[in-house]
Amino acid sequence: MTTSSDGSTPPPGQPSLRTLPKAELHLHIEGTLEPELAFQLAERNGVVLPFADVDDLRARYDFSDLQSFLDLYYSCMTVLRSAQDFTDLAVAYFARAAADGVQHVEMFFDPQVHAANGVDAATVIAGLRAGFAVAEERWGISGGLIVCIVRDQPVASADALLDEIAPLAHDLIGIGLDSAEVGYPPLLFEDVFARAAGLGLRRVAHAGEEAPADYVWQALRLLEVERVDHGIRSIDDEDLLAHLATHRVPLTVCPLSNLRLRAVADLSMHPLRALVDAGVVVTVNSDDPSYFGGYIAANYEAVAEMGFDHRELAALAENSITASFADAARKAELVAAVREWVAAL
Ligand code: HPA
Ligand code: ZN
């Protein structure tokens, strides 16, 4: 198939996947930091990045696994210091998301990493919320924030973060779990997630990205998550697939992330089709689009390259809306928009 990788050139007679209304449910705002903005913010804040220039930084976007990416990602995050920095970052992302047809965003952020750079959670939250206000006004985008626990930091640090955000819980929609997966199983965070639920936070977790299907079971049974982020290793466990399908637990799959972090050797080996065939509610997302070679439309385009036609892609977009934490009225509005797109095919 001769389609462009950025979703901008549809097959003859077909609309661009950029026009398909969709929700983004797996997006680390820090993973949208483009090299140009990283250098601008470094200058604004007097931070010296350990890279010569934008080209040098971009040349390092060649990852062997999750950890090799995380090392660079955390290094770039040192440039983010003020609420305004986070607003600028978020608005830059929303402009790209709006151009890709995104109507609703549930956004991850990593306060423990920002704390190490001297930025408290309240500053990050205020800056990102100001970004959401711009997104709603300019592009009609809805959504909210999911605070992520960095799982390779001590559990006591996650507990301290919950103490810090408890008074701000009404400004958040949920809690997630990210960073280096293998060796940091969900079971470590059972109490943290129970506390978060007590604060009224919805629960999601990265599981089964690099670690085995057992981590997905732990996230479901011990953390009581409502969605699983990545979850692709579920493909190795038939009972788990049946459980996900029966209970309609969505997976937030990120094809270009899986490719760039070598969770799959190439897109033809990606388990997305098999997950859909097993009846799992699959959604398509961009994870850290600045680092992984494409925003969400490019991820839908990658799924098209796996052999999904426009109707099937629209079904995945509809999944993204029904799997979101939007209220019923907003979901109905966005589902109707997807169905209009299908009716015009
Ligand atoms: N996995 C784990 N942690 C992350 C990721 C991811 O894909 N992106 C940003 N932090
Ligand atoms: Zn992620």
Domain for residue 11, yes or no? no
Please determine, for residue 89, whether its predicted confidence score (pLDDT) is greater than 80: yes
Which atom of ligand 1 has the smallest separation from the CA of 230? 7
Which atom of ligand 1 has the smallest separation from the CA of 257? 7
Please determine, for residue 147, whether its predicted confidence score (pLDDT) is greater than 90: yes
Q: Please tell me the number of the ligand nearest to residue 215's CA.
A: 1
What does each C-alpha distance from 265 to 123, 257, 326 come to in angstroms? 39, 12, 35
Domain for residue 105, yes or no? yes
- Residue 241: CB atoms within 10 Å: 19
Closest residue by Cα to atom 3, ligand 1, is 179
Closest residue by Cα to atom 10, ligand 1, is 179
Could you give the 3-state DSSP secondary structure of residue 153? Answer: coil
Which atom of ligand 1 has the smallest separation from the CA of 288? 8
pLDDT of residue 13: 76
Domain for residue 12, yes or no? no
pLDDT tens for 152-162 read 999 999 999 99
Residue numbers annotated as active site: 209
pLDDT of residue 12: 74
Q: What does the buried/exposed string (b/e) look like for 76-89 if buried means 16 or more CB atoms within 10 Å of the residue's CB?
A: bbbbbbbbebbbbb
Q: Give how many domains the chain has, as a whole number.
A: 1
Q: What is the mean pLDDT of residues 84-89?
A: 98
Helix (H) or strand (E) holding 90: helix 83-99
Reference 93, options 159, 126, 138; nearest CA is: 138
Q: Please tell me the number of the ligand nearest to residue 263's CA.
A: 1
User: What is the domain-level CATH number for residue 246?
Assistant: 3.20.20.140
Closest residue by Cα to atom 2, ligand 1, is 179
- Ligand 2 centroid – CA 245 distance (Å): 22
pTM over 0.85: yes
Among 33, 63, 69, 233, say which to mutate for ligand 1: greatest number of ligand atoms within 8 Å of CB. Answer: 69
pLDDT tens for 149-202 read 999 999 999 999 999 999 999 999 999 999 999 999 999 999 999 999 999 999
Distance, in Å, from the CA atom of 280 to the CA atom of 249, rounded to the nearest integer, reads 7
- Ligand 1 centroid – CA 44 distance (Å): 27
Percent of the chain with pLDDT over 70: 97
Domain for residue 91, yes or no? yes
Domain for residue 3, yes or no? no
Domain for residue 8, yes or no? no
- Residue 16 is encoded by which pair of tokens? 């661009």
Closest residue by Cα to atom 7, ligand 1, is 287
pLDDT, the chain, mean? 96
Q: What residues does ligand 1 touch, defined as CB less than 6 Å away?
A: 28, 31, 66, 178-179, 206, 209, 257, 287-288
Residues near 103 by Cβ (< 8 Å), separated by ≥ 6? 21, 22, 23, 140, 141, 142, 334, 337
Please determine, for residue 38, whether its predicted confidence score (pLDDT) is greater than 70: yes
Structural domain of residue 147, as residue ranges? Answer: 17-343
